[in-house]
């Protein structure tokens, strides 16, 4: 069998939505977003977490707006963030009483960059359409986009019941899971059509249909993508904690992204007690980057280790380099444009070390068990130096920084600009000579 090179399918066409200056859909880069887990009424704590998520690379941040105190806090959070220079768009997450909170707190309605509503709990019985309409009308009045977010756990019971009844009478009934998937899709599309009927334009509507099982998520979004061109928000809800949540989210969204489906993503990880909320941002970035869909931070390739690498030096160095790069990225983005494309290799022995290091922009092959205490360093595919002694790690870090400065720094850009100017001057002089 002949191996073929696989690349993601072309992005599905979707209508572009402007969320506080960040384009979602319409061919724009897939947007990474996240959500706070602070009490929104606590202005200081929520602003601090939003800022941390933004620094980690979250391009949209959602906050819970569940009661009057949290709604009143939203403009204060926005103002505090802006005073710090943080301009990340804020998305308000509304359930049950969103219509009332938006009406009672117009400053909140104005401060938010997008509203998220769930058609399964926006209202019940005769109140449902009225309260849904009230939120949409508020969005129209303030010029805000809306995410209509259907959720498996709070699906519209009236719609699901009707579809179940119709299915039971069918000559070829589907199983209950298939009917539930169909109800998810219909709930999203019917709600979007209702919003458009009220006056909300298609370029202000984002859809999501979140479930907690991988195969269901793939099926539901595939159906949505075939039936409409709204921008789509991907996310596996209640994904779980640690490796389970990371694997499940990556498996589900990886398949969809490979098919060109998805305009913005969130990795919904349950943090460890007191854990770092920004982990979900890092995972989302790494998913997009490893699939070749976006570039956020320099990649650090490192071998897994084996019996040839009983020393932990390469592990420590790989970890230190990776942490150093990620921690430095907020500053580096301004100082070193393009640095996110950098590839670094930290390898642990002679088996694959030299080869992998040659493929990286800069790489080091550390000595494995029984090997000579020498570490060759490769830059742009060529061996430039061999490091010895107890300070190998620190020397390599310095070489990485020198490489970044030389390739991406102001001096490198100035040299390139001077070269361009010289070439332009040469052409001009040549043209004058011909005259």
What pLDDT score was predicted for residue 90?
A: 98
Place of tokens 């009490």: 39
What pLDDT score was predicted for residue 412?
A: 57
**Residue pLDDT tens, the chain, 435 long:** 444 456 778 999 999 999 999 999 999 999 999 999 999 999 999 999 999 999 999 999 999 999 999 999 999 999 999 999 999 999 999 999 999 999 999 999 999 999 999 988 887 777 878 999 999 999 999 999 999 999 888 888 888 889 999 989 888 899 989 999 999 999 999 999 999 999 999 999 999 999 989 999 999 999 999 999 999 999 998 777 888 999 999 999 999 999 999 999 999 988 888 889 999 999 999 999 999 999 998 888 888 878 877 677 778 888 888 888 888 888 888 889 999 889 999 888 888 878 888 999 999 988 888 778 888 999 999 999 999 988 888 899 899 999 999 999 876 555 445 455 545 544 544 444 444
Neighbour count for residue 157 (Cβ, 10 Å):
11
Residues 128 and 94 sit within 8 Å (Cβ to Cβ): no
**pLDDT for 93-144, tens place per residue?**
999 999 999 999 999 999 999 999 998 888 777 787 899 999 999 999 999 9
Output the 3-class SS for the chain: CCCCCCCCCCCCCCCCEEECCEEECCCCCCEEEEECCCCCCCHHHHHHHHHHHHHHCCCEEEEECCCHHHHHHHHHHHHHHHHCCCCCCEEEEECCCHHHHHHHCHHHHHHCCEEEECCCCCCCCCHHHHHHHHHHHHHHHHCCCEEEEEEHHHCCHHHHHHHHHHHHHCCCCCCHHHHHHHHHHHHHHHHHHHHHHHCCCHHHEEEEEECCCHHHHHHHHHHHHHHCCCEEEECCCCCEEHHHHHHHHHHHHHHHHHCCCCCEECCCEECCCCCCCCHHHHHHHHHHHHCCCCCCCCEEEECCCCCCCCCCHHHHHHHHHHHHHHHHHHHHHHHCCCHHHCEEEEECCCCCHHHHHHHCCEEEECCCCCCCCCEEEEECCEEEEEECCCCHHHHHHHHHHHHHHHHHCHHHHHHHHHHHHHHHHHHHHHHHHHC
* Nearest residue to 398 (alpha-carbon basis) of 410, 415, 411, 385: 385
Place of tokens 């790690």: 393
Cα-based angle 273, 277, 280 (whole degrees, multiple of 5): 120
Phi then psi for 67, rounded to 5 degrees?
-160, 175
End-to-end CA distance of the chain: 62
* Nearest residue to 302 (alpha-carbon basis) of 286, 314, 320, 290: 314
Cα separations in angstroms, 357 against 241, 258, 314, 335, 380: 34, 29, 13, 26, 9
Per-residue buried b or exposed e for 98-116, using 16+ beta carbons within 10 Å of the residue's own CB: bbebbeebeebbbbbbbbb
* Nearest residue to 59 (alpha-carbon basis) of 388, 281, 371: 281
What's this model's pTM, rounded to 2 decimal places? 0.86
Q: Are strands 90-94 and 60-64 parallel, antiparallel or unpaired?
A: parallel
Residues 8 and 22 sit within 8 Å (Cβ to Cβ): no
Tokens coding 237: 């809800």
Tokens coding 180: 């539930």
What pLDDT score was predicted for residue 229?
A: 97
């Amino acid at each position: 069998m002949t191996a073929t090179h696989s690349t993601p399918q072309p992005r599905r066409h979707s209508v572009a939505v402007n969320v506080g200056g960040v384009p979602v859909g319409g061919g724009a880069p897939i947007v990474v977003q996240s959500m706070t887990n602070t009490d929104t009424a606590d202005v200081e704590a929520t602003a601090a977490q939003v800022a941390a998520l933004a620094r980690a690379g979250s391009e949209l941040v959602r906050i819970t707006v569940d009661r009057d105190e949290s709604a009143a806090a939203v403009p204060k959070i926005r103002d505090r963030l802006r005073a710090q220079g943080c301009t990340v768009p804020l998305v308000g997450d509304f359930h049950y009483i969103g219509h009332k909170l938006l009406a009672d707190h117009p400053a909140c309605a104005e401060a938010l960059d997008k509203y998220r509503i769930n058609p399964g709990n926006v209202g019940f019985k005769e109140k449902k359409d009225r309260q849904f309409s009230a939120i949409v009308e508020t969005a129209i009045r303030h010029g805000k986009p809306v995410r209509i977010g259907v959720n498996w756990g709070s699906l519209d019971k009236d719609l699901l019941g009707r579809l179940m009844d119709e299915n039971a009478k069918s000559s070829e009934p589907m199983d209950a899971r298939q009917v539930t998937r169909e109800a998810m899709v219909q709930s999203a599309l019917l709600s979007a059509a209702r919003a458009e009927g009220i006056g909300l334009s298609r370029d202000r509507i984002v859809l999501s249909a979140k479930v907690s099982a991988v195969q269901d998520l793939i099926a539901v979004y595939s159906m949505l993508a075939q039936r409409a061109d709204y921008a789509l928000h991907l996310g596996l809800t209640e994904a779980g904690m640690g490796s389970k949540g990371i694997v499940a989210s990556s498996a589900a969204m990886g398949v969809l992204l490979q098919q060109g489906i998805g305009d913005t993503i969130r990795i919904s990880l349950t943090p460890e007690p007191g854990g770092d909320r920004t982990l979900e941002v890092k995972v989302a970035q790494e998913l997009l980057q490893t699939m070749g869909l976006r570039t956020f931070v320099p990649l650090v390739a490192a071998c897994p280790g084996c019996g040839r690498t009983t020393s932990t030096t390469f592990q420590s160095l790989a970890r230190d380099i990776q942490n150093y790069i990620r921690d430095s990225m907020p500053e580096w983005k301004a100082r070193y444009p393009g640095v996110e494309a950098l590839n670094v290799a930290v390898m642990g022995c002679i088996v694959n070390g030299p080869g992998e290091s040659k493929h990286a922009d800069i790489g080091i092959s550390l000595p494995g068990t029984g090997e000579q205490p020498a570490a060759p360093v490769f830059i742009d595919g060529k061996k430039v130096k061999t490091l010895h002694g107890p300070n190998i790690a620190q020397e390599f870090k310095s070489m990485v920084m020198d490489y970044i400065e030389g390739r991406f720094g102001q001096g490198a850009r100035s040299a390139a600009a001077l070269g361009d100017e010289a070439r332009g001057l040469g052409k001009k002089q040549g043209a004058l000579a011909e005259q």
